Amino acid sequence: MEFTIKQIADFLQGDIEGGDSIKINNLAKIEQGETGTLSFLANPKYTQYIYTCKSSAVIVNKDFKPEQEIAATLIRVDDAYSSFAKMLTLFSEQKPPKGISRKTKIHRSAKIGKNVFIGDFVSIAEGVTIGDNTIIHQNVTIYKNVTIKSESLIYAGVQIMENCEIGNNCILLAGAIIGSDGFGFAPVKDGEYLKIPQTGNVILEDNVEIGANSTIDRATMGSTIIRSGAKIDNLIQIGHNCEIGSNTVIAGQTGVSGSTRIGKNCMIGGQVGIAGHLHIGDNVMIAAKSGIMVDIQDNEFHMGVPSFDARKYKKSYLYFKNFDKIAKRISELEKQVKDLKQ
């Protein structure tokens, strides 16, 4: 795949500084670029590399002000990071596979849309509906009465359990499990537990991505819902009857306990633990490794275990780091007071 700098600038709606006819045939990190490649600069930590960069062109923000001469052509855009993401998408595009493998098992009642690809050893149960242009890779199991809308991409080893609904343009990465039983048990006599049947389902709205080996549990009753545009990283557990708001992103190894509701446009770091039956508002940020045990209001930033306001946490942490010195100072003051009393 090859484009001129002018074609790239037109595609990104950017402004060119330098030659516009040079051809670009690959993408590269700014510190590893070579002639014919395109790089980007978004993080100020990498600014030093733009002055020695060997890439033919570099995507930068419109407000970038160079302090030295730059050999590469600059393409100025509103957001260099998202623009380079578009270029990554463009360069990674491949002709989608088509056809249905003879090694797959499809129930006669299943409805398969147009231009669908189904790989080897896929199992599709009765009552399943699969929309147009969906791609299902090998060893996927789709249980009874599942609905998958159009343009979705399902990688190897995914399991989609009974009655679950997958929206348009969703991506399920390898090993994801949608609709496994929620963790519901009732304590009975003698310290034993009675399993509570999980009769609900999981609904993924449009443009949702579920990472590799993540699990979204079905509701006890009703639905576990992942709203449109939400992005769930690898190795994440979403409990039964949870609701994740639209365009919320959750990083790897986070666990969300049952019946918790998370608002829209939230950013949740890795290895966060969220207790059950909580309400987390819109536009909330949660730092990695935090433990969430209380409701969080809109626009708040939490960190710590148990978590609280990030600004207060950082101030408290300064005291914690110096606690040995503070304790020693308190001991000295106590001794001085005792001496004065004597």
pLDDT at 297: 97
Alpha helices per DSSP H over the chain: 5-12, 47-50, 80-92, 310-321, 323-341
Closest CA to 172 of 223, 86, 236, 221: 236
Is residue 116 within 8 A of residue 130, CB to CB? The reply is yes
pLDDT at 321: 84
Amino acid (one-letter) located at 75: I
3-state helix, strand, coil in the chain (%, to 5): 20, 30, 50
Q: Cα–Cα distance between 175 and 157 in angstroms, integer?
A: 5
Three-state secondary structure call for residue 306: coil
Which strand (E) or helix (H) includes residue 70?
none
* CB neighbour list of residue 54: distance below 8 Å, 6 or more residues apart: 33, 34, 35, 71, 72
Residue 70's φ and ψ, nearest 5 degrees, are -120, 130
pLDDT at 315: 86
Buried b (16+ CB within 10 A) or exposed e, 17-50: beebebebeebbebeebeebbbbbbbeeeeeebb
pLDDT at 50: 96
Is residue 257 within 8 A of residue 276, CB to CB? The reply is yes
pLDDT at 98: 85
Write the DSSP symbol of residue 181.
Answer: P
Q: Cα–Cα distance between 210 and 189 in angstroms, integer?
A: 39
Is residue 40 within 8 A of residue 56, CB to CB? The reply is no
Three-state secondary structure call for residue 303: strand
Is residue 118 within 8 A of residue 104, CB to CB? The reply is yes
pLDDT at 323: 84
Q: What is the pLDDT of residues 257-293, one digit of tens each?
A: 999 999 999 999 999 999 999 999 999 999 999 999 9
73-77 and 15-17: which strand pairing?
antiparallel
Enumerate the active-site residues.
240
Closest CA to 148 of 137, 136, 156: 136
Q: In the chain, what are the domains?
A: 3-92 (3.40.1390.10), 99-312 (2.160.10.10)
Bridge partner list, 40: 59
- What stretches in the chain show pLDDT beneath 50? none
Is residue 321 within 8 A of residue 305, CB to CB? The reply is no
pLDDT at 102: 94
What the block records as the tokens of 45 is 């930590």
pLDDT at 111: 97
Amino acid (one-letter) located at 90: L
Which strand (E) or helix (H) includes residue 291?
strand 291-292
Residue in the structure block whose two tokens are 């669908």: 116
